[in-house]
């Protein structure tokens, strides 16, 4: 659980640093290629927030351990890129999981609003 929260925290802090990884370099147009092949840019599916071989400070907290170095995107398991995606529940009618989750969110928001109003 702590590891997921650390990943979530670093991902939200470094979103502005992702601009280098999302830029698509312009490739010259070849004469034999079709228009559809020329129009589709080659975007990597896995885009990390830091380049390979970057020293990740603060991750090795034990004395005498070597520094933690970021790996290339291909070396990480595929499930790692799906951690940040929000959980999608299908709308399964009254009394289903979607409705229960929505009721829980509403109840938590009412509690937060009530606690905020108590401080005013």
Q: What is the DSSP string of 28-52?
A: PPPTTS-HHHHHS----S---SS-T
Question: Are residues 79 and 53 part of one domain?
Answer: yes
Domain extent for 12 = 1-19+45-85
d(CA 107, CA 34): 55
Question: Are residues 81 and 49 part of one domain?
Answer: yes
pLDDT in tens, 11-33: 444 444 443 344 444 455 555 55
How many domains, the chain?
2
103 falls within a domain: yes
26 falls within a domain: no
24 falls within a domain: no
d(CA 10, CA 120): 33
Q: What is the pLDDT of residue 47?
A: 77
d(CA 3, CA 20): 25
pTM for the model: 0.40
Low-confidence ranges of the chain (pLDDT < 50): 1, 11-26
Residues 22 and 45 sit within 8 Å (Cβ to Cβ): no
pLDDT in tens, 34-44: 555 555 555 55
Question: Are residues 62 and 5 part of one domain?
Answer: yes
Residues 48 and 70 sit within 8 Å (Cβ to Cβ): yes
């Amino acid at each position: 659980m702590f590891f997921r929260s650390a990943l979530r925290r670093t991902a939200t802090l470094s979103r502005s640093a992702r601009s280098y990884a999302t830029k698509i370099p312009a490739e010259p147009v070849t004469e034999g290629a079709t228009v559809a092949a020329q129009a589709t840019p080659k975007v990597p599916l896995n885009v990390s927030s830091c380049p390979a071989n970057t020293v990740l400070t603060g991750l090795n907290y034990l004395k005498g351990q070597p520094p933690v170095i970021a790996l290339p995107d291909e070396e990480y398991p595929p499930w790692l890129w799906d951690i940040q995606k929000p959980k999608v529940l299908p709308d399964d009618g009254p009394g289903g999981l979607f409705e229960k989750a929505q009721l829980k969110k509403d109840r938590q928001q009412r509690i937060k609003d009530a606690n905020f109003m108590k401080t005013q």
